[in-house]
Structure 1
Amino acid sequence: MSSITHRKNNETYTFVTPAADSTIEKLNEFYWTNELEPHVLRRKAILAKHPEVKKLIGHEPLTKYLVLLVLATQLYCCYALRNTHPFSWRFILTAYAIGATANQNIFLAIHELSHNLLFRKPLHNKLFAVFVNFPIGIPYSASFQPYHQLHHKFLGDEYLDTDLPTRVEGFLFSNVLGKVFFTTCQILFYALRPMFVTQIKFTYIHLVNVVYQFGVDYLIVKYWGWYSMSYFIMSSFLAGSWHPCAGHFIAEHYVLNENNRQKSKTENNVNISKELLPEETYSYYGSLNHITWNVGYHNEHHDFPYIAWTKLPELNRIAKEFYDPLPKVNSWVGVIVWFILNDVNDLWNRVKRSGKQTNGSKVGGLDSN
């Protein structure tokens, strides 16, 4: 076991790096840091150098019309398959190629709505999110927004960021078979994990979401049958499983470059120097952004959550010197395969913050912007 001494702000920290033959308890650990999440600092630096970026902030009216086209496509497929058995090749291929792609698009449209990027008024965004929820098959949109806001405001916080795997997941699913199961059923982990990590208040929007969704489900089953309803459910499951677009779930925040071999940490899970950690958010600039509302521009999105998808490439162009040096993901499909087959990639490869105070500031704390 070796140690590294680092000096910062006139204080000296010693970081212990486990040896390759360390016990499993030492090797199986998240990347703990007491540094503030990087996006607040980068946002301030970009605004200081490029104040014109502020002009990009705001909603995108075009989005709602494109979402309506996706909804119409899903509704047509749902109706067309009403007499087709769910275990037939025609049904499965349609659910995978069209349904999963469309529902992933709808998941990410709800993501845009959670940042109030389709309408000026927050209430209109919430209600439209409830409306577009119906092809997913279960009430999802009302809960997603508050949990996702916590993800942004408290990135990496062990109790508030429900995008992070739990320790149970880390222990159970970090071998090859476990990672196959995890990537196959990703959507279930994202749906169920939040309720075990932190709770949010049940509001009237949640009630509207539940009543509306089950009302639509009832009408579909009554008039078109269970096969049609199965199309929506299968589409949602496949959208978060072995689908090219599902690679973004892993690509966004898992530390999967060569630096993840360095599991530098202290004995008490605090005080990892930023210099000893790789970047914790990764962008992807490939063609799948065209059907996922540019969610691949993920560093840009976390830096400026209130810039709509159509303006993220422009943000990247303006602040190119800030984004070009950052590590990137070249393929969402490749990320899924690499995550499973490379033994150094597992569910422990996430940066976590303990929520302790650092120089008077709460780790992962709120920023006025």
Structure 2
Amino acid sequence: MTDSITHRAANKTFTFTTPPSDSPIEVLNEFYWTKEKEPHFSRRKLILAKHPEVSKLTGYEPKTKWYVIAIVSLQFYLAWYLRNTPIFSWKFIGLAYVFGATANQAMFLAIHELSHNLLFKKPLHNKLFAIFTNLPIGIPYSASFQPYHQLHHKFLGDQYLDADLPTYLEGILLSNLLGKVFFAIFQIFFYALRPMFVTQITFTYIHLLNIIIQLVVDYFLIKLNGWHSFIYFLMSSFLAGSLHPCAGHFIAEHYVLNENNKPRSILKDNENISIELVPAETYSYYGSLNLLTWNVGYHNEHHDFPYIAWTKLPELRRIAHEFYDPLPQVTSWCGTIWDFMFCDVNTLWNRVKRVGNEKSGTNINNLDQNQ
């Protein structure tokens, strides 16, 4: 399958033909390497210069905690309700998929909000509440997510520091039909385990507290309700990061898919993809699933202003619409998962990468977790 693509940038028009999926491996097996800086810093400066009122949107959103408490309570109720239900019954799996996975995806993304200190004024309060938010996920996760996610923001596309990027091995093994289907089904494991193999972070007392509280709660959940309740939590977390509509945001946010594909240029010495040809590397989605996911679909807006809470992101887009309306958008998270798996031009190579200054495995000791 070969697609012709017309791209307009800097008052110039470029027409390309994307390579078919059976092209030689040396044609396909590269990311979009560039020396150009990520676009969010410069766009933030331009928006603030033209719309200084945007700065008034920054700050935490106190009402978010009440929604989180309600969802955590719902998950514990459903875990209790299913305590005697066979695990492989339609009832158990159906409730885990429809309610459990949706709820736990919301908890993943509530922890995302907390990682930016957007629920409470004090950073410590956000960290502690994230541990509470973590409870229905079943495994300790919140304390590690924050530093890795901040690296993703500060070093977007960095080959060593951005653990959101697929590794070279993933690209080699999974950039085929079966590999992409496998990745889409089990992507939650890639996002959970990949960071540990890419960059190490400092283990703190918050990590220890996260582990201890999660294990204690899991122990009493199993002791009081049995294993089925605990498995409900784990199944909800797995399905939340698998073939679930809300899981489409994982791929939609930064993969260069479909008509946004452009020819690659392997970065060697002075070779580079020029600024006119670097594809957009962050994509927003403005559909109804944002109602279930704290507006994470407003992803360009979020990367431009990570200190604006989810309730204010639509207002940011309204104020600065001339900056966001021309950008490529994702219209369907379900469609994104489908296109990623079954469209030949979409592979795990389709990410923008930058040469990092740190060696792989560097321990990040000075990461500011309060920003």
TM-score, reference length from structure 1: 0.90
Tell me, yes or no, if the aligned pair for 2:264 and 2:273 is still in contact at 8 Å. Answer: no
Indicate the residue corresponding to 1:249 in structure 2.
250
Indicate the residue corresponding to 1:282 in structure 2.
283
Tell me, yes or no, if the aligned pair for 1:34 and 1:270 is still in contact at 8 Å. Answer: no
Task: Tell me how far apart the structure 2 counterparts of residues 46 and 209 of structure 1 sit (CA, whole Å).
Answer: 38
Task: Tell me how far apart the structure 1 counterparts of residues 325 and 227 of structure 2 sit (CA, whole Å).
Answer: 49
Tell me, yes or no, if the aligned pair for 2:33 and 2:273 is still in contact at 8 Å. Answer: yes
Indicate the residue corresponding to 1:12 in structure 2.
none
Tell me, yes or no, if the aligned pair for 1:18 and 1:264 is still in contact at 8 Å. Answer: no
1:31: Cα distance to partner? 0.2
The answer to whether structure 1 residue 185 and structure 2 residue 186 are counterparts is yes
- 1:254-288 C-alpha deviation (Å, 9 max, x unpaired): 00131314223444595221211211000000000
Tell me, yes or no, if the aligned pair for 2:36 and 2:275 is still in contact at 8 Å. Answer: yes
SS of the counterpart of 1:274? coil
Indicate the residue corresponding to 1:151 in structure 2.
152
Task: Tell me how far apart the structure 1 counterparts of residues 26 and 258 of structure 2 sit (CA, whole Å).
Answer: 22
1:19-38 paired onto structure 2 within 5 Å: 23-38=24-39
Alignment CA distance shift 1:349-1:28 (3 Å): same
Indicate the residue corresponding to 2:342 in structure 1.
341
Indicate the residue corresponding to 1:4 in structure 2.
none
- 1:173-225 C-alpha deviation (Å, 9 max, x unpaired): 11011011000001000000000000000000000000000000000010100
- 1:12-44 C-alpha deviation (Å, 9 max, x unpaired): xxxxx9977864123210000101100000000
Query: Could you tell me which amino acid in structure 2 is paired with residue 318 of structure 1?
Result: I
Indicate the residue corresponding to 2:364 in structure 1.
none
1:302: Cα distance to partner? 0.1
Tell me, yes or no, if the aligned pair for 2:262 and 2:279 is still in contact at 8 Å. Answer: no
The answer to whether structure 1 residue 70 and structure 2 residue 71 are counterparts is yes
Paired residues, number: 344
Indicate the residue corresponding to 1:363 in structure 2.
none
Task: Tell me how far apart the structure 2 counterparts of residues 212 and 219 of structure 1 sit (CA, whole Å).
Answer: 11
**Gapped runs of 5+ residues in structure 2?**
1-9, 11-16, 359-367
Task: Tell me how far apart the structure 2 counterparts of residues 50 and 89 of structure 1 sit (CA, whole Å).
Answer: 52
The answer to whether structure 1 residue 314 and structure 2 residue 310 are counterparts is no
Q: Percent identity?
A: 71
Alignment CA distance shift 1:266-1:150 (3 Å): closer
Task: Tell me how far apart the structure 2 counterparts of residues 91 and 323 of structure 1 sit (CA, whole Å).
Answer: 42
1:356: Cα distance to partner? 5.7
TM-score, reference length from structure 2: 0.90
Tell me, yes or no, if the aligned pair for 1:300 and 1:315 is still in contact at 8 Å. Answer: yes
Query: Could you tell me which amino acid in structure 2 is paired with residue 259 of structure 1?
Result: N
Tell me, yes or no, if the aligned pair for 2:174 and 2:180 is still in contact at 8 Å. Answer: yes
More moved, 73-82 vs 21-30: 21-30
Task: Tell me how far apart the structure 2 counterparts of residues 268 and 22 of structure 1 sit (CA, whole Å).
Answer: 25
Indicate the residue corresponding to 2:5 in structure 1.
none
Task: Tell me how far apart the structure 2 counterparts of residues 172 and 199 of structure 1 sit (CA, whole Å).
Answer: 24
**Gapped runs of 5+ residues in structure 1?**
1-7, 9-16, 358-365
Indicate the residue corresponding to 1:259 in structure 2.
260
Task: Tell me how far apart the structure 1 counterparts of residues 269 and 188 of structure 2 sit (CA, whole Å).
Answer: 32
Tell me, yes or no, if the aligned pair for 1:117 and 1:307 is still in contact at 8 Å. Answer: yes
Query: Could you tell me which amino acid in structure 2 is paired with residue 340 of structure 1?
Result: M
Task: Tell me how far apart the structure 2 counterparts of residues 128 and 263 of structure 1 sit (CA, whole Å).
Answer: 43
Task: Tell me how far apart the structure 2 counterparts of residues 38 and 261 of structure 1 sit (CA, whole Å).
Answer: 17
Alignment CA distance shift 1:132-1:269 (3 Å): farther
Task: Tell me how far apart the structure 2 counterparts of residues 161 and 19 of structure 1 sit (CA, whole Å).
Answer: 27
Tell me, yes or no, if the aligned pair for 1:261 and 1:344 is still in contact at 8 Å. Answer: no
Query: Could you tell me which amino acid in structure 1 is paired with residue 135 of structure 2?
Result: F
Indicate the residue corresponding to 2:109 in structure 1.
108
1:122: Cα distance to partner? 0.2
CA RMSD of the aligned region, Å? 1.9
Tell me, yes or no, if the aligned pair for 1:129 and 1:141 is still in contact at 8 Å. Answer: yes
Alignment CA distance shift 1:18-1:299 (3 Å): closer
Alignment CA distance shift 1:75-1:207 (3 Å): same
More moved, 17-26 vs 252-261: 17-26
Query: Could you tell me which amino acid in structure 1 is paired with residue 193 of structure 2?
Result: L
